[in-house]
Every structure is written in structure tokens, then in C-alpha cells.
Amino acid sequence: MGSSDTTPRAVFPGRTPGVPRIALFLNAGDPDDEEMVEIVRLMDAARVDCLELAVPFPDSVTDGPVVRASATRALDRGTDLPRVLRLVERLRATTTHTRIVLLVDWSHSLRPTDLARSVDEIRGSGADGLLVHGLPPMLRGRTTELCLAAGLPTVQTCYHGTSTGETFAAAARDATAYVYLVARYGRSGTPGGDALASVRSSVDRLRELTDAPVAVGFGISTADDVRRVTDAGADAAVVGTACVRAVEQGIGDHDVVGSFAAFLERLLPAPQPALPRP
């Protein structure tokens, strides 16, 4: 049983070159809360570093069909921000290693609320970080200030190959949880070029601008992909669509937890053999 303290914890504390760290994405509400608790217990036992937990929202322009279908299932269950914050409290009380970063869409979940109050409530739930999806540029400064005042670390996003130097600098400046470097522009889970082959240039660029950890996502679904991200110098790999697909397959097989456990076994890099003693 984890601590009742809800102080945010470093998502990727320290940096150990060559050691892969992993953040996994799921929509809250898909699977249901009881199954989610069991899945996150599995993550914690497997030493998965971070769960990027999305408050579901409709019609995402950045997500492919697998993640969008998951969001629809979650919304059909009535999943909203208050319910997700209650879930975060449960997850925080049952984990010791896995950190929880909340992804919240501006238009669907935050715009109808008092922003300062929502930031305080997210912080109070025990979330270790916040990523605001679709935040209007004019509100970025205020949102960052509110999160700093509340002691809520933030994730900032930029895109390999397409973001401007100004965007890279802003992400590096404002990130207090980590910088999420999107490996390629497009929808999650859809075919694209091998961006991981060239992503090191953007990782190095961010290293010059910030001490915040750098996590790379999009197009990552296997243990080999995770190793390639680590080899590119990033602190962590973010796995999204493959996680959601494991849940979807489990729903079809009537064994969501078992399906996700099998997925974790395939995903987590095999432990390296110990070096012989001299």
C-alpha cells in the first residue's frame, strides 16, 4: 500500500544513460476503474515508471482509431474529470514506483471550469504531473504560472522535425515534469516513417536547453523501439496505442488484466545478463 502523501514525485528521477524508462498511456474509464486499478498494480510491480492517464475527450485530431475508440468507450461510461481525479487518488494509494501524469484536454475538460480551482484539484488528487492537450497559446503563460503556484509539475510538448526553435525553447523552459518529444507529426497509431532513426538530433537539441527529462513518443510499441529511444539519448519512451490495443483485445477476450499482463511481458526490455566478476 502506498503512502497517503499526495506530494508530486519526480517522474523520471535522475538519469542513468542506457537504462530504458517507460511511460504507458491509457484512457481513464477504459477499462473500468476496478480493472484499471489491477492493471496499474501490475505496472507498479513491473517497475513501469509512469502512467500517462488521459481524461477521455471526443474527436481527438492527434489520435488514431484505436485511441479514439477507447476514448468513446470511456465517455460512454460517463468518465469525466471529477471521476478521474477520484481514480487517481485510488491509484496513488496503491502504487509505490509508478508515477501518474494526467493528460487533460483544454476544450473538453478544462475550459468549462475555473482553471485555478481545477489545477488545485488535480494537484490534490496526487497526480505527479499535468499535460494539457490543445491549450491555446495565449493561455500557456497563465496555466504555467498556476501550476507552478500549486506545486504541480507540467509536461510540455514539441515535435521532432516540425516544431520551430521557439517552440523547442518554450517547451524546454516551461517543462517541470518532462519534455514530451513527439517523434513524428501525425495521428497516434497510424503508419509513418522511421522517425526514431533521426530523433537523436532533437534530443540533443533539448539537452542543450533544459535539465528536464526528455521522453519520446509516437511509433513506439515494442521492446526494441524502447531500446532505440534509449540509444538516442532520451530518458524515457512513451508507449500509447499498443497499450490501448492490449486493453481492446482484452475486452474482446473477456480478460483485460490478463491481456495487459501479456503485453507488459512482451514490452519490457529483457534484463541484461550480469557481467562476470573480474
What is the domain partition of the chain in residue ranges? 22-267
User: Is the backbone of residue 229 left (phi > 0), alpha (psi -120 to 50) or beta?
Assistant: alpha
CATH level 3 topology of 22-267: TIM Barrel (3.20.20)
Can you give the pLDDT at residue 61? 83
Q: What is the pLDDT of residues 27-49, one digit of tens each?
A: 999 999 999 999 999 999 999 99
> Can you give the pTM of this predicted structure?
0.91
- Rg of the chain over Cα atoms, rounded to whole angstroms, equals 18
| Structure confidence by residue, pLDDT tens digits, 143-177 | 999 999 999 999 999 999 899 999 999 999 999 99
CB atoms inside a 10 Å sphere around CB 210:
19
Nearest in space to 10 (alpha carbons), one of 91, 97, 82, 72: 97
Residue among 183, 187, 163, 167 nearest 175 (CA): 167
For residue 225, give the nearest of 179, 249, 192 by alpha carbon.
192
Which residue numbers are catalytic? 52, 63
Please tell me the predicted confidence (pLDDT) of residue 60. 85
**Integer Cα distance of 152 and 126 in angstroms:** 9
What pLDDT is attached to residue 276? 44
CB atoms within 10 A of CB 255: 14
CA of residue 202 relative to chain centroid, distance:
19
Regions of the chain where pLDDT drops below 50: 1-3, 189-192, 272-278
Q: Which residue has the cell 495565449?
A: 138
Distances (CA, A) of 120 to 4, 112, 143, 150, 151: 17, 15, 12, 6, 9
DSSP class of 217: E
Give me the pLDDT at residue 167, please: 95
Contact 49, 21 (CB under 8 A): yes
The H or E element containing residue 37 is helix 33-45
